[in-house]
């Protein structure tokens, strides 16, 4: 086993162990992948101010996200097909998050079901929902989330239509993998993954199969998505979801100040500045670039979080300094899961936390609540 010191080490190991179609599904963007790359590259442009001769003892990165105590301002983002990165992947990731002390968010498009997570964890988790034409199916899913003691609902707003993801199209993405010659050859090189999948019955879409008509595999999911994801989504629909749910509501996919203001007016509890990991509108700005203007416009009225491009604790600290009061990590979790299962996710969280903690100390702070743009070198970070 190689020595794991950072998220990139986990990514390299995951690429070796996960079948190509599923690795590419998580680690890719739409069209030219320009926005996907910018999400990470723009973090690297932001420079930190190192301070010395300050007391660095008794540090804390603890905070709250929608009223929930968290060890650091990080939660696990909803990622579709997580259970194809590693057998029972959503359960493993949820357990790692619970052990570490941060929230886990289950995707609608997960392999493990809402009930699977509830049965295998004790901490409350969050559930991510897409707007569907079938309101009865949505209402049932919301009720299932409530019965599973989910403490928040994450409504994703930026997937009314699906961005063109070239790698998925070229790989012929299916779940379970389709028996093409290329896929069979690739699976033969992933014995660890195959052995894990042979030991579980969870190979399909746990939140949909048996709950939504006509969804049995990836191809039928694509057809169902085209028919059911609602391109007419409006703020009235957000109000309907809020009324159905009645609990903490997080709106994910905000990239524009005007949309952020409408989100505040909707009564949501938090918004996530997100371009869907660069998987939807290629050519959009990076999430970290869009963040400051949205914080300036609504940060006093609603919790503003962000996701996209976070690969280190330094990225988390930079996002916090620019006003994000929470972050979501998707790919960093996926890399850990694909590399080492539950322990890989836990390792990813340990890495991010240690980097966050040490960087905060080097920047002259012991409490994340006191961190602001003062830790950043002027002229290197985006402003409102």
12/1 Cα distance (integer angstroms): 12
d(CA 89, CA 303): 29
Strands 63-65 vs 68-70: parallel, antiparallel or unpaired: antiparallel
Task: Please pick, among 166, 211, 276, 365, the residue that the annotation labels catalytic.
Answer: 276
Instruction: Report the distance separating Cα 235 and Cα 1, nearest Å.
Output: 50
Residue 181 backbone dihedrals phi, psi, to 5 degrees: -60, -45
| 308 token code pair | 């996209």
Q: Please answer whether residues 320 and 62 qualify as being in contact, where contact means their C-beta atoms are separated by less than 8 angstroms.
A: no
| Residues 326, 74 contacting (CB under 8 angstroms) | yes
With a CB cutoff of 8 Å and minimum separation 6, the contacts of 246 are: none
- Residues of each annotated binding site for glyoxylate: 25, 165, 276, 279
Q: Are 276 and 164 in contact (CB under 8 A)?
A: no
Indicate the annotated binding residues for FMN: 78-80, 107, 128, 130, 156, 252, 274, 307-311, 330-331
Cis peptide before 176 (omega within 30 of 0): yes
- Residues in binding site: 25, 78-80, 107, 128, 130, 156, 165, 252, 274, 276, 279, 307-311, 330-331
Helix, strand, coil % in the chain, rounded to nearest 5: 45, 10, 40
Alpha-carbon span 135 to 210, nearest angstrom:
16
Is 211 annotated as catalytic?
no
> CA of 9: how far to CAs of 2, 274, 367, 378, in Å?
8, 25, 29, 31
The set of residues, in sequence order, having a beta carbon less than 8 Å from that of 16 and lying 6+ positions away, is none
Catalytic residue list:
276
């Amino acid at each position: 086993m190689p020595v794991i010191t950072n998220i990139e080490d986990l990514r390299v190991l995951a690429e070796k162990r996960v079948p190509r179609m599923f690795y590419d599904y998580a680690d890719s963007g739409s069209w030219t992948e320009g926005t996907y790359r910018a999400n990470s590259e723009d973090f690297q442009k932001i420079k930190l101010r190192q301070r010395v001769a300050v007391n660095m003892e008794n540090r804390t990165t603890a905070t709250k996200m929608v009223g929930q105590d968290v060890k650091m301002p990080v939660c696990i983002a909803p990622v579709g097909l997580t259970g194809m990165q590693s057998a029972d992947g959503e359960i493993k990731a949820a357990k790692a998050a619970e052990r570490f002390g941060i929230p886990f968010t289950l995707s609608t498009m997960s392999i493990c079901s809402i009930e699977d997570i509830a049965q295998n964890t004790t901490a409350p988790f969050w559930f991510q929902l897409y707007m569907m034409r079938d309101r009865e199916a949505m209402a049932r899913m919301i009720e299932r989330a409530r019965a599973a003691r989910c403490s928040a609902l994450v409504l994703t707003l930026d997937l009314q239509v699906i961005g063109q993801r070239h790698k998925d199209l070229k790989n012929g993405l299916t779940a379970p993998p389709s028996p093409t010659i290329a896929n069979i050859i690739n699976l033969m090189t992933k014995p660890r993954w195959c052995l894990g999948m042979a030991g579980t019955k969870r190979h399909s879409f746990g939140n949909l199969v048996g709950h939504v008509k006509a969804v049995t595999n990836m191809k039928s999911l694509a057809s169902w998505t085209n028919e059911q994801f609602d391109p007419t989504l409006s703020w009235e629909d957000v109000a309907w979801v809020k009324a159905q749910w009645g609990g903490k509501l997080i709106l994910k996919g905000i990239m524009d100040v005007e949309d952020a203001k409408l989100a505040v007016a909707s009564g949501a509890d938090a918004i996530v500045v997100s371009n869907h990991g660069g998987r939807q509108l290629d050519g959009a700005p990076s999430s970290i670039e869009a963040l400051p203007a949205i914080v300036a416009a609504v940060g006093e009225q609603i919790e503003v979080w962000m996701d996209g491009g976070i690969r280190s604790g330094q990225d988390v600290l930079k996002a916090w300094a620019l006003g994000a009061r929470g972050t979501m990590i998707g790919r960093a979790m996926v890399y850990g899961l694909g590399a080492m299962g539950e322990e890989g996710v836990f390792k990813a969280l340990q890495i991010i936390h240690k980097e966050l903690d040490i960087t905060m100390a080097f920047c002259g702070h012991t409490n994340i609540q006191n961190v602001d743009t003062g830790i950043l070198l002027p002229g290197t970070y985006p402003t409102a």
